[in-house]
Amino acid sequence: MGSDRRRDGRRRRAGRTTAVLGLGVLLLAGCGSMPVVGDVKPVDASQAGDAQVQVYAVPPRDGAEPGEVVDGFLESMTSDDPSFRTTRTYLTQDAARTWRPAAGTTVLAKAPNRNAPAPRGPETEATDTTYTLSGQKVAEVDAQSSYQPIAPADYVQSLHLVREKSADGRQEWRISSVPDGLVLGQSDFKRLYRSVNTYYFAAGSAGGPAALVADPVYVRNRTDPVTRMDATTQTIRTLLDGPTDWLRPVVDSSFPAGTTLQKGVTSLAPDDQNVLKVPLNKEAAHATRSACRRMAAQVLFTLRDLTSARVEQVELENGRKVLCSLGAEETTGFTPDRGSGSPVGQYFVDEGKVLRIPGSTKGSGEPVPVTGPLGEGTRPMSAVGVSRDEEKAAGVTADRGRLYVASIVEEGELPAEAPVVSHAAAADNRLSAPSWDGRGDLWVADRDPREPRLLRLVGGEGTPQEVDVPGLGGERIEALRMSADGVRIALLVGEKGHRTLKIGRVERVGSGATQQVSVQDLRQAAPQLTDVTAVSWSGRGRLVVVGKEEGGVQQVRYVQADGSTSSSEVLPGVNQVESIAAADDELLPLMADTMSDGIVKLSPGDNWQTVLKKGTSLVYPG
């Protein structure tokens, strides 16, 4: 019984009980007492995926040995203990007063092992002892609820215990030295927390088109032990606190500085008209009406996938005054890109020509060559990227040495000179497939080993600008995909014969032709995959990735923009995928280019189906 760190049965059960309440039945995870009603069965507190089960800890038994105290403390951190009051009973009075569980969370592959100290001689009774916690760290969640995956690394931490006099005068073992924050195994973390997207505006969009950017964070599935807030209220509170440190340099919040929920608000839910009323403090009243509507849009998009009942309208309030309201039907102007609004088509290359599958057919229509020179095939292409308004496209020639941009809605000819040329000797070392961001700019990587470069063409035109990527450290960009919001870039980076996925933050300084652009703070997005074949953005806050774990087979899975994953995000298998394409509209099918089956599609709730036996480099706009 108990958490997964003691499934092998080799350790003594900690002297405490864990009560579990779920679906109206009271269960018991420990063996020290019995429920008064309901069935009795063992409950694994670390069982993943059962968010309806609620776990409560009880304090250590009288006379508990040091190992029992350590085990009880570790497992009580996996409970829904209000304010961690019971968890603190495993600590000395001083440690209980200073321990800050909200400082962050360390996520281990499995719940931590605790290693007992070497035995002491029998001549004296021990008054203190130290236990070592160990495991494989796979992620950290900071005080902003921001998730950071890491390649598995050794985790070692010490817990010092002393004997402390209890209220009844007994000498009891208690933990006197403990690091701030929580330490949880992955299964406990996934049971207790969920990923949600908070939304902010791309920096510089206050006076122009509003580009909303997803900023993923983790909140408790149920009531947060520290704040006593439900999941919806936690999420709005996190939104009001502002963007995570990683995204902060490239986004803005419309909420005035100092805006918080009104004091004492711990539960928020839409009424029977699906209207959510959000009571804010007096700082919110300083916003203009236009800014207030942008604030309401941030709330609406943030709650879109969180509440069980769809929120149709948000009302922001201060006291009894309604500051503004915004309905779901009024959010169409808050788009992440410059899309045309028409049905989105899929584009691919066949025999050097660029063809389009009509968007209204969802991947099953008859392909037709695009209008203009790219559809004629007089200059054969090997890869294509289509602007998000579907008015022009960029094609990379068959030898991957040149990139051309042309209209796909009007007849014309390719320009006499290619705006981007690679001089690498081998085709595999020349240009990557291109990608367009939501601002209308075109991006491509030159993989020439002598001079690897990341290039950007403003509006898809003019002289390409070299983009600085200081975090590469000599590694080479093999492929790239720009996000619709234009503030993030997904890079496949060559490392020691493998390709790993990294996400960078796109920072812009200045404006117009003199604007300086760089990619900062590269972070690993799928460290569990040792070799990544292909990647595409899927919606506003996640990517679809094709890759292999060490010693494993190729898999297709979703990865959140912060790099976190869940087992439910692994998609049905498909063989020998070379490229993958997903749309911002997640109702459109996922498309893949395979060596064995041609171009295939995966519609929601369906299996992979072959669309075309011939064709490569299939993409959605972007």
Nearest Cα residue to 461 out of 519, 560, 391, 526: 391
- Tell me the C-alpha distance between 100 and 96, whole Å: 9
What is residue 527's predicted lDDT score, i.e. its pLDDT? 87
pLDDT at 14 over 60: no
What is residue 337's predicted lDDT score, i.e. its pLDDT? 52
- Asked if 133 and 155 count as a contact pair (C-beta separation under 8 A), the reply is yes
26 domain-assigned: yes
pLDDT at 5 over 60: no
Token digits of residue 602: 């995966």
517 domain-assigned: yes
**Percentage above 90 pLDDT, the chain:** 69
pLDDT at 13 over 60: no
Region 576-581: what's the mean pLDDT?
93
583 domain-assigned: yes
Region 83-104: what's the mean pLDDT?
96
**The domain boundary residue, chosen from 175, 192, 209:** 192
pLDDT at 568 over 80: no
Token digits of residue 119: 């035995």
What is residue 205's predicted lDDT score, i.e. its pLDDT? 56
Question: What is the CATH classification number for the domain harbouring 408?
Answer: 2.120.10.30
Residue 371 sits in the same domain as residue 486 = yes
Of the listed ranges 49-58, 196-205, 223-232, the one predicted with least confidence: 49-58
Of the listed ranges 231-245, 355-369, 416-430, the one predicted with least confidence: 355-369
Residue 412 sits in the same domain as residue 498 = yes
Contacts of 218 (CB under 8 A, 6+ apart): 141, 145, 147, 193, 194, 195, 196, 564
Residue 96 sits in the same domain as residue 204 = no
Token digits of residue 621: 């706009």
pLDDT at 404 over 50: yes
- The Cα-based distances of 563 to 84, 215, 503, 522, 542 in angstroms read 29, 12, 9, 12, 9
**Structural domain tally of the chain?**
3
Of the listed ranges 93-107, 239-253, 357-371, 518-532, the one predicted with least confidence: 357-371
**The domain boundary residue, chosen from 177, 192, 207:** 192
339 domain-assigned: no
pLDDT at 229 over 90: yes
Structure letter (DSSP) for residue 373: H
Of the listed ranges 25-29, 379-383, 468-472, the one predicted with least confidence: 25-29
SS3 of residue 246 by DSSP: coil
pLDDT band at 53 (very low <50, low <70, confident <90, very high): low
Q: How many Å separate Cα 346 from the centre of its chain?
A: 26
356 domain-assigned: yes
What is residue 19's predicted lDDT score, i.e. its pLDDT? 46
SS3 of residue 462 by DSSP: coil
Burial class (CB in 10 A: 0-12, 13-18, 19+), 442: buried
Q: How many Å separate Cα 493 from the centre of its chain?
A: 19
Nearest Cα residue to 506 out of 515, 498, 497: 515
Region 396-409: what's the mean pLDDT?
97
336 domain-assigned: no
pLDDT band at 38 (very low <50, low <70, confident <90, very high): very low
pLDDT band at 48 (very low <50, low <70, confident <90, very high): very low
Q: Which residue has the higher pLDDT, 57 or 417?
A: 417
Residue 209 sits in the same domain as residue 259 = yes
pLDDT band at 60 (very low <50, low <70, confident <90, very high): very high
What is residue 62's predicted lDDT score, i.e. its pLDDT? 94
Residue 44 sits in the same domain as residue 179 = yes
565 domain-assigned: yes
357-396 pLDDT, tens digit each: 986 555 567 899 999 999 999 999 999 999 999 999 999 9
Region 320-340: what's the mean pLDDT?
78
What is residue 389's predicted lDDT score, i.e. its pLDDT? 92
pLDDT at 99 over 70: yes
**The domain boundary residue, chosen from 296, 330, 364:** 330
What is residue 57's predicted lDDT score, i.e. its pLDDT? 84
Residue 159 sits in the same domain as residue 231 = no
Average confidence score pLDDT of the chain: 86
Residue 186 sits in the same domain as residue 248 = no
Residue 360 sits in the same domain as residue 425 = yes
Q: What is the CA radius of gyration of the chain?
A: 28
Of the listed ranges 18-22, 74-78, 422-426, 487-491, the one predicted with least confidence: 18-22
**Percentage above 70 pLDDT, the chain:** 86
Range of the domain at 589: 346-619
SS3 of residue 306 by DSSP: coil
335 domain-assigned: no
Residue 151 sits in the same domain as residue 168 = yes
pLDDT band at 610 (very low <50, low <70, confident <90, very high): very high
The torsion angles phi and psi of 297, rounded to 5 degrees, stand at -65, -40
Contacts of 107 (CB under 8 A, 6+ apart): 137, 138, 139, 140, 141, 184, 185, 186, 189
What is residue 326's predicted lDDT score, i.e. its pLDDT? 94
pLDDT at 273 over 70: yes
Q: How many residues does the chain have?
A: 622
183-219 pLDDT, tens digit each: 999 999 999 999 999 999 998 754 445 688 999 999 9
Residue 359 sits in the same domain as residue 324 = no
SS3 of residue 451 by DSSP: coil
Residue 377 sits in the same domain as residue 416 = yes
Residue 171 sits in the same domain as residue 255 = no
What is residue 18's predicted lDDT score, i.e. its pLDDT? 45
What is residue 586's predicted lDDT score, i.e. its pLDDT? 79
